Structure 1
């Protein structure tokens, strides 16, 4: 059997099983919690302390629809949110007492209705059915699915514009930084392009798509500055930030730098977590009123390589 025939057999099974799933869904899921809402409740229960993004991506739900579902669940006291201690921008989702009761009712209803579907199937056939389902699940488990291809590469012509764009978009959308911050980023990048001696800028890609960056610039013969460390929020949790940090630190060691410093702001919890992880120490603080219209605290972090 060639690959095309395999594909056609799989598609035929998929069409049949989709009709089976449709019947199950019609029997089990009804108002006030249709299939998608019931699936969200189940995901929050199973992945206790997950984020909305994780649930949305796993279930393939539109961002706006997901937001409306969660708002409804909050209004009905089905879920509650807690701010992440690691990343203050993230909120973790949990079921309330009422939410757990609703989940248990969904489970009971599902078990009852599926039980009706299989009550006439002999035990030996049920064993074959479950064995086949387990085989499908095993074959299509994560170790058999292609993982995203993450790569870190030196910048190429045109990449610097992407770095400026990502900074401007992310910091305006998430933190309400103004035009002065974007000017500050673009000014620094322009100066770097004029003189890259002793430095480098790297681009992170996922399946060929640019998603982040980090750079090293020369301060003097023994001191380097880490700059423009950023990652698209949709690609957090993939270890890309660690790859970028390790690339930059390794470069500094190869270049013979003895010391690295960087400037950040106190609200960037995810980045600050990585700086601590790689043994950077907070050494200086100063106020900043230019970027958001409110007081920020700029922080200098230092790392000795000797």
Structure 2
């Protein structure tokens, strides 16, 4: 039986969350008629973003992800397709589904939206001190973790992230899978990895579900930039995705970089890895100049961590 004081506590929490909702919807401009004062509603802009960031996106997947009514999302997608922003093709796996992709025009519109959004949020973050920004990002990740639904929160509690002292068979196995999945041309062998792990400012982290290794990430010193490190080899096995494991790995990596006095973490990627790039941008990574000679890289990002 629930006590009266317990009910009162929940009621107070409800009022606090509602008050915060009113604050941040106004602060982020979500009450405007058009998102970011552009030509799209917030829902239309979100659909375009998810189609651009995802892989093999379908209307049913968007409905499940965003909690939208089937008829509503169908009308929105039809309108976006008519405007020449979204292309639809019959899925080879399931003829009842249509795969959604952005057209060249749609990609341009999403790029404009991303630039406007980044500029607006940067304006909110720049007045904050470094430690205040770190506290804010930590709080955002905590809220996301606590409010996660669909059973993922219970599964996430079983995730364990470990920093390696030396290269292991689990680590090598995950690296080989990553190399093959992303078709990496320039690969680090066991000797290069062992040498890198000997550097106190570098490291490799593995994520475990129970005793099963399911993901990895690497941090290495970036010689070309003072007080900077580079995030490499972020990988989560397909069956373990959707549980926040990539975030957990990057949380551990960024915290370690901060503890070693690094101010920046850089990373590179390429245009085809849309889901990964979306993750990085959500975590606060912003565009920067090319900083290496990686022949496969087309996207260069960095994040201030210290």
- Please state which band the TM-score falls in when normalised by the shorter chain: 0.3 to 0.5
TM-score by length of 2: 0.47
